[in-house]
Structure 1
Amino acid sequence: MSATASPAPATAETREAALPAAGSSFYTAMRLLPKDRREAMYAVYAFCRSVDDVADDGGPAPVRAAELDRWRADIDALYAGNPAPRVRDLVVPIRRYGLLREDFQAVIDGMAMDAFEDIVAPDEATLDLYCDRVASAVGRLSVRIFGLPEADGIRLAHHEGRALQLTNILRDIDEDAERGRLYLPREKLAAIGLADPTPQSAIAHPRIGEVCLAVAKEAQDHYSETWAIIDRSPRRETKAPRLMAAAYRLYLDAVLKRGWAMPRARVKPSKLALLGVALRHGIL
């Protein structure tokens, strides 16, 4: 796509292509929702998928910057009552569930953090901001669609978003390093003697497990807060976040069980374990 190309209007085919993969925990969680809420979540997912594709695979930096700016403009126009074709699927969810413009813009800002310069050992505050934008902002959109009360919904988005994103970071450290990215926090790396780390020097460091375990402890704390909120909330409104939290916790447990010694095999919970999560939290 050139920097001046007009965005293509959404079609049935492009909307279908943007849906989560069948069998994924996200897909399973969304299938638990009533039709109107499920379609709203798919529209939000399609938006997130589109801006993520710009950040990861959108071409040279000037092209990605221009395209993310167009997304920002499209969100502003959407809230001004003049939606571009590619965001029209968001009109009804925004009106029906009170989705906030700033949360959509936060998602774009989070993708921009990845788009122009590979993130390498961010400080703790920057990592937390990144997690808020790429995960908890999506959570804030989601909990309104799920129907949770405002205060607990926002708290749930805060903690579950960070729990899931930190789990992703720990699961994907080797794959991220191959792309020149390192999301482990600078302060924790400095504590093991890596003052100016590169992705490869960090993941090969003999004490990298100490850093990963510290990040895992933070994720576990966020999971604990997540479940405290879920346990006091109506079950009908928390089926999707319960399933997501339980499924992602399997990934965290798997990387902790595998450990951090090289070579590290990529972990994936068994289909039986994931089925158990789906049955326990999706049906019961």
Structure 2
Amino acid sequence: MIGGAPHAAGQPELAVAYRECRQIAAAHGRTYFLATRLLSAERRPAVHALYAFARMVDDIVDHAETDVAQRYPSHAWQLPEHGPGGELELIEKQLRIVLESQEAASAAGLLGVALEPYRAATYATDTRTLVLLAVADTIHRYDIAAQHFWTFLDSMRMDVPGTARFRDRYATMAELHEYMSGSAAAIGLQVLPILGTVAPIADAEPAAAALGEAFQLTNFLRDVAEDLERGRVYLPADELAAFGVDHELLVHCHHTRRTDPRVRRALAHFIAINRDIYRHAEPGIDLLEPRVRPAIRTAAVLYASILDRIEDSDYAVFSHRAVVPRHHRLRVAATQFTAAAITR
């Protein structure tokens, strides 16, 4: 089953599931949500489902149960006593069970059976069930390779203490690339069948993976302080060391909320690397179906604008979070939409 909007008729669970994913995307993915507004109506629910799945997994990895409930009270994830590592195993098991069903319409029942032994709390809305139902339907509908989801979950295990793959520091850019190939590139490859291409999909995959990595490296640069609070440093140690930066200096900057000149130079170096990845990804946008290109260009331009905000703040990543103003986001989206309309 490829393409087309979810059919609510006879499948009320799907309608509710996709609606929940849309709410999650609107609340927590402002840049991506704005970009999806430029997609055709039938594609938007699938992109929302992928975003909600990634958000669900990321929040389970990053936050304890009480923190998640406080930050996202309207989207409380099921968090029994297993811990984040156990939760990732559970999510993978649940998704595999749903995908093994022949008909997406029966997925809700199968998912309910899979979840029942693990229910440790009762929520008015079982967000996890809804997200998994929507993402399973999206996988079937657009014939997305399930391997991209297992690769994503494997990378997420690298963020979880106690798992065999755990890593809180990265010695080299090659090590970081290994992480991003699952956590970011895999998401780019998940989205690609939904967007559609004018060339064989394999031709567009390298650029889609690169764009995912570009987005994630931007996140790492914006969230240096937040990651330090979680005991993580994603920026590679050897690249930092070339500028005289080590873990202790980063911690000092975080405590003082001031960016040391050595850290400032290192951040400028990583921003140059990041922009180069965006440049390598950009030609791949022309391989997408014409109608979706404005949305992806909007996402790329807006996310790259975060780098401009970091520079404009004199690299003050330890004192505030770089945010692209709403008026700028709207202006970029309008420009891309207008340009696309003119060229049609």
> TM-score, normalized by length of structure 1?
0.84
- Tell me what 1:4 maps to: none
C-alpha distance after superposition, 1:170-216 (max 9, x if no partner): 11112222332221111112223346657414765431122212211
Q: How does 1:1-284 map to 2 (within 5 A)?
A: 14-15=20-21, 17-21=23-27, 24-59=30-65, 62-81=82-101, 83=107, 84-85=111-112, 86=129, 87-116=132-161, 119-148=168-197, 149=199, 150-194=201-245, 197=248, 199-201=250-252, 205-231=260-286, 233-260=288-315, 264-284=319-339
Q: Which deviates the most, 77-86 or 156-165?
A: 77-86
The 4+ residue runs of structure 1 with deviation greater than 6 A are none
Structure 1: stretches of 5+ with no match in the other structure:
1-8
Answer yes or no: is the 8 Å Cα contact 2:21–2:45 preserved in 1. no
- Tell me what 1:5 maps to: none
C-alpha distance after superposition, 1:253-272 (max 9, x if no partner): 12123223686443222322
Answer yes or no: is the 8 Å Cα contact 1:171–1:251 preserved in 2. yes
- Partners of 1:57 and 1:184 in 2: how far apart? 21
Answer yes or no: is the 8 Å Cα contact 1:181–1:199 preserved in 2. no
- Partners of 2:99 and 2:88 in 1: how far apart? 17
RMSD of aligned Cα (Å): 2.9
Shift in Å, 1:237:
3.0
Answer yes or no: is the 8 Å Cα contact 2:250–2:263 preserved in 1. no
For 2:100, the aligned partner's letter is: A
Shift in Å, 1:50:
1.5
Q: Which deviates the most, 243-252 or 190-199?
A: 190-199
- Partners of 1:267 and 1:51 in 2: how far apart? 23
Shift in Å, 1:23:
7.9
Residues paired across the two proteins, number: 276
- Partners of 1:262 and 1:79 in 2: how far apart? 41
Bigger radius of gyration, 1 or 2?
2
Shift in Å, 1:242:
1.0
- Partners of 2:29 and 2:60 in 1: how far apart? 25
Shift in Å, 1:38:
1.0
Change (3 A) 1:266 1:94: closer
> TM-score, normalized by length of structure 2?
0.71
Answer yes or no: is the 8 Å Cα contact 1:64–1:115 preserved in 2. yes
For 1:168, the aligned partner's letter is: N
Shift in Å, 1:68:
0.5
Change (3 A) 1:48 1:128: same
Answer yes or no: is the 8 Å Cα contact 1:29–1:282 preserved in 2. no
- Partners of 1:206 and 1:268 in 2: how far apart? 22
Answer yes or no: is the 8 Å Cα contact 1:32–1:240 preserved in 2. yes
Change (3 A) 1:56 1:97: same
Structure 2: stretches of 5+ with no match in the other structure:
1-12, 66-79, 113-128, 340-344
Q: Secondary structure at the match of 1:207?
A: helix
Change (3 A) 1:243 1:65: same
- Partners of 1:171 and 1:130 in 2: how far apart? 18
Shift in Å, 1:58:
4.2
- Partners of 2:190 and 2:289 in 1: how far apart? 18
Change (3 A) 1:263 1:112: closer
- Partners of 1:122 and 1:158 in 2: how far apart? 22
Shift in Å, 1:46:
1.9
- Partners of 2:47 and 2:252 in 1: how far apart? 39
Q: Which deviates the most, 84-93 or 48-57?
A: 84-93
Change (3 A) 1:68 1:280: same
- Partners of 1:130 and 1:234 in 2: how far apart? 29
- Partners of 2:28 and 2:263 in 1: how far apart? 34
Instruction: Give the % identical residues.
Output: 29
Q: Which deviates the most, 33-42 or 229-238?
A: 229-238
Answer yes or no: is the 8 Å Cα contact 2:46–2:138 preserved in 1. yes
For 2:95, the aligned partner's letter is: I
